[in-house]
Each structure stands twice: as C-alpha cells, then as structure tokens.
Amino acid sequence: MKRLLYLLSVLFVCLSCHQVSSPNGSLTVRFRLTNSGEPEYRVARDGTTVIDWSRLGLQCAELNLTNEFRIGSIEKHYDIAQEWETVWGEERTIVDNHNEMIIRLKHRSGAQMNIIFRVFDDGFAFRYGLPDAGRKLTITDERSEYRFAADHEAWSIPWRTEFYEGLWTKAPLSLKDTMCSPVTIEMTDGSYALVHEAALTDYPAQNLYMQDGALRIYLTPWLDTNAQPRPDKAYITTPFPTPWRMVILARDLKQLVASRIMLNLNDPCKIDDTSWIHPMKFIGIWWGMHMKSMTWEQGPIHGATTANMERYLRFAKEHGIEAVLAEGWNKGWEDWRSFSFTEPYSDWDMNYLSRLAQTLGVQIIGHNETGGNAADYETVLDEAYAYHLEHGIHAIKTGYVSPIIRTLDGLQLNKGQSGVRHYRKVIETAAKYHICIDNHEPVMPTGLQRTWPNLMTQEGVRGQEWNAWSKDGGSPCSHVTILPFTRIMAGPVDYTPGVFAFENPVMPQTRVHSTLMNQLGLFVCIYSPLQMACDLPENYIKHPDAFRFIEQVPCDWERSMLVDGAIGDYCIFARQRRGGDDWYIGGVNGDDPRAVTIPLTMLQQGVTYKATVYRDAADADWQTNPYAYVIEQYDVTASDELSLWMASGGGLAISLTVQE
C-alpha cells in the first residue's frame, strides 16, 4: 500500500511539472508543486542541470505562503521581443527577448500568489505577485533559493560591509558567510553566473547565504529602537509585486558583462522629457580633503571657496571638462549634523559662481551630505532642489555617511525597506526639478536607472578615496580588475579614477596601487555616465600629454564590449563613442606583469583609424616607477591587432579616431 501511495505521489509531481525555455532553447526552467503544495523550480542548460529543484515562497506573519498551494492556471507567453533606446548607457540600444510563464497559485487560506518566470538566452528571473486587493502582510522571510548543482567558487563581500566598501574575495559557496548581492560565481565547467535582483523599489535589499546546499535569500531586516534586527522584513499592501530575482548564466566573461537582463526587468522610462539629462566628466574640490590639503568645513584651508571654485571652473573650461563638483560649500560641516542645503559658507558666493559657470559653459555639481540623517533631508527636498535649480545646478552628489541612517521610520539600515523608500523618494523628487543624482552610501543598484535615468551613478564601492587614507595601505592592484565583473554588474559606479600624483605625505604607507597608465585605463574599464577625474588640477598640469586622454574620452557609449580578461588578474574593454565612429580601449592589470594582444575587429571594415596608444614603459611598476609611460601614434585597420605590455599595477589606454 505504501509503495502504491509513493508511486501515486511521484505521478502527481510529474503531472504538475510545467516548463518554459529561452528563445534559443538553450535554457529551460521547470516548475512543480510537491506533495505538500510547495512551489519549486529547476534550471537546465543544454539538458544539463545548473540549478536543481529549489524552493520558492514567502513567509508572512499573517500566513505561510510557502506550502499548501494548488495550481489555478498557467499562462505562457513566447517571443516577447523589443528593442529600446537608452537615455545614456554602455550601448545605445538594448534588445529584450524572453519567454514568460505565469503560474497562478491558490493557497489553502484562500490567498492567491503568482510566480512569474522570464527566461532569456543568458539567464532567467522570477518574482512573486500578490494579486489580492487590500490585504496587509508582514513579510518575515523569503523562501527563494538557488540550489546550484556544484559547490562553485564565488566572488562576494559580507552583507554588513559598511556602504558596500569592501574587497571582493573568492571562495567556494559552502565557505561563504552571508553575502551582499550581487554574487558572481565561477562555475566548475568554466562558465559564469551572477545572482542579483532587479527593480528594487519598496522592499528590503536581498542578501545571500548558504544553508543545506542551497544559496538562500536573507532579506535586510527592519531595526528596533535599539538598532537591533527585528523579525519583520517588509510591510506590504496587496496587490504587490516583489523585486525580480535574477540569475545571469553566461558561457564566458564576455557574455556575462554583456548581459542586460537587469535593465530589461525594470520598467521603461517614466520621464517624458529627458533632454536635461547629460552624461559628463567632471573634476572637483574633493581629493584635496582626502590628502589633508583642504578641509570641508570653513577655516584657513577651506576647499570650497569662491576663489578656489573659480580656479577649478576655469581649468575645466580650458580642458574641455563639462562640470565641477564642490564639497563643503554649505553650512553644517563643523558637526556633520546641522547641514543646510540652501545656505553657503560666507566664503562661497553662489550667485557669482553660478553666473560664472553659465558664462563659461561649465556646470556646477552640487553636494548634499546628510550625515546619515535621511529623515531631515527628505523634509527639505523640494526647498533644496528648487535652490539648486535656481542656480542652474542639474546634478547633485548625495551622501549618507553613517553605518545606520535615520529615516522617517527611525534608525534603519540603508538597504532596508525604509532606506529603499527614501532613495526612491529622492530620485523622483529630483526628477521634478530636472536634477540628476550621484548617490553615495546607497543601496546596491538594481537597474532603476532605466525607469528614472536621472539616477545616473552611485558609489557603493571601495573607491579611490581608500587609497588616500586606508590603514591597510590602499586597495590591492587586483581590486579594479574584479569590480567590472562584480559590483559594476549591478550598475554604474562613481569610483573616481584619475590620480596623477602617487606621493602621499599625510599617510606615506598608503598610496594608489597603480601606474599612471592604469589610471587612464580606468576611464574605460570602470563605467559611469558621470565620471570624475579626481586629482588636483596642478597634478594634471604636470602630465599634459597623458591628461589629453582624459580630456578626450567620453562617458556615453554606442557599443561596449569586453576584449579580454580574467577576474582578479586583468581586464580590457573597448567602447564606441555614442553617435560617433571613434573607439576607446582601456586596460587595467593586477599584480603580475603581462603581455596582451588586442584584435581590432570591432572597427569599421575598410576604414583607417589613427591609434593613439598610452602604455606603460618597459621599466614601469606601480611601486617603483609609476610615472614611466610611452605615448605612440600609428594607423590601424580592423584587420590589425595590437601587442602591448602592462606592468604590475599597470594599464593602457587607446583612442582610435577615423582618419579623414
């Protein structure tokens, strides 16, 4: 009798399996309900299991939406294909081509839950939809998991890394502690996966941990009055869609960095007129504070003075730099608490500087540091943004320097639901005033820039500033060779490249682990539509021939591609200027010197280009000789290839312009 019951149960499971494949048929997602009504899915590529049967569901305080389901109906949609144009980005047009399966589940309690799968040629995604009207739920756990078929190696940072400013490390999944999303996975067959989320708008950010052989989601919790985690993760009112859970499944690194699944899972642009949104390079009154030659607060060596800002504006005009950032222009830096976003220090003449900037054709980028007081900032957003707009400022760098921010809901983690809501409010309010946002100390990006392209770039990375004061001596050479395959997979990053002076009199044991050519290569390898050249003007003047590349390189692209690379070792990217025929190539290297070969097959056939090559000299080394470089020019075509050498911590940069 038991044997008969077992066979009947197996038959039930088999009969309840449903599947959807990618447009090219390579990836297949199967779905089933177990005997206890638990939803599960499985993913195969070319018939081989990549993710074995993995559980799905939501645990709520009011009811358990992880089991006791039955299938109400199944919908499948095939050949969903569109091509859409970006406002700015790594390429002008993006193709969205996927198949979709919607499973409508009915719970024993009467509640309904939909699970929506989208399957692309290079990965898949799913989300939960709760269609009931007016039901209030408290989500305490998300049962989503990824049971990979092997114990793959993963690149990650710990989930409580402050501001995501950590060094990414590699280890088997089984040895990893709770990790921030995204997680980049090197699979045993030589292919790659990336686990992340998309369209995070009113929900806590996901984190990931291993348990019982499965990679599981840990939602960022709410905090109690003592800033300790509570069991509740999200408060929702149905109907409600969760963020997308997405996995890129790439056969190689080139396919990994080319994936646009995350952007395709976000809603189309909600800004009707985007003509005021402009990618641009900028310099700024900033690096001097980190090198202790300037201060944020007013005083003898105050950085953001009228005279100093005028000097920066005129330097930007002379060298074709579109904008200048000024940190420390406003009152409040004395205590990092009482910031005003409309009251300048007495040595800053906003009216004069805004008129000068307009006359020169150079933009001012504002700076709004909150000290982590998001609640007060939220109450003055309209006043602050109206003030900036009045002075012709269309871009603001925001900051939340505090391990726990104060939101309208009290002290909370920046990537908890309350923090996510705040960042969304900032972006939407800024859009009303035609202001773009460069968000520092953010929640990890999830592709929201497609919907709100005024969210142009974010920090959320161990950036260049760590090379000025970090007690560990600065980021290792390998750091910038890891970021394009990990953090930057989540979205643009304000890393602030472009250091030209490697001496550090304040902390001699700390320095930038790179050659000057590495700093040039970062302008192509590290993507941001707002790209800062971070060093002081006087340091750029010392190397005008190398600075020429920074003057010329754009930060908005027609096409982008990885030429070659290995995570932690090196990477070489090629990008075509948006709306033009010119190409730019950048490379950054890790610890070991290496020879590289760069085929130029991306160039237009039958056209001759002038290649200006910026490369490490034969005796260059980041520790002993970082300033040794060579600049060469010669004609090339698409049939040529360049054989170059990168030093330890070195790099390269190449501009390719069409010969008239």
Which residues participate in catalysis according to the annotation?
465
3-state secondary structure 181-241: CCEEEECCCCCEEEEEEECCCCCCCEEEEEECCEEEEEECCCECCCCCECCCCEEEECCEE
CA-nearest of 494, 462, 459, 458 to 476 is 462
Tell me the two tokens of residue 493.
């990053």
Query: Is the Cβ–Cβ distance between 23 and 98 less than 8 Å?
Result: yes
d(CA 91, CA 578): 8
Tell me the two tokens of residue 391.
């002075």
Relative to beta strand 436-439, strand 455-458 is parallel
Residue 234, CA distances (Å) to 117, 181, 202, 220 in order: 22, 18, 8, 9
Tell me the two tokens of residue 296.
């944020």
Cβ neighbours of 328 (radius 10 Å): 23
Q: What letter does residue 268 receive in the DSSP assignment?
A: P
Separation of CA 72 from chain center:
38
Element (H, E) at 172: strand 169-172
Query: Is the Cβ–Cβ distance between 296 and 335 less than 8 Å?
Result: no
243 preceded by a cis bond (ω within 30 of 0): no
CA dihedral 523, 526, 529, 532 (to 10 degrees): -50
H helix intervals, 455-552: 466-469, 479-482, 516-525, 537-541, 544-552
- Backbone φ/ψ region at 649: left (φ over 0), alpha (ψ -120 to 50), beta: left
Element (H, E) at 52: strand 48-55
Q: Which amino acid is at 651?
A: G
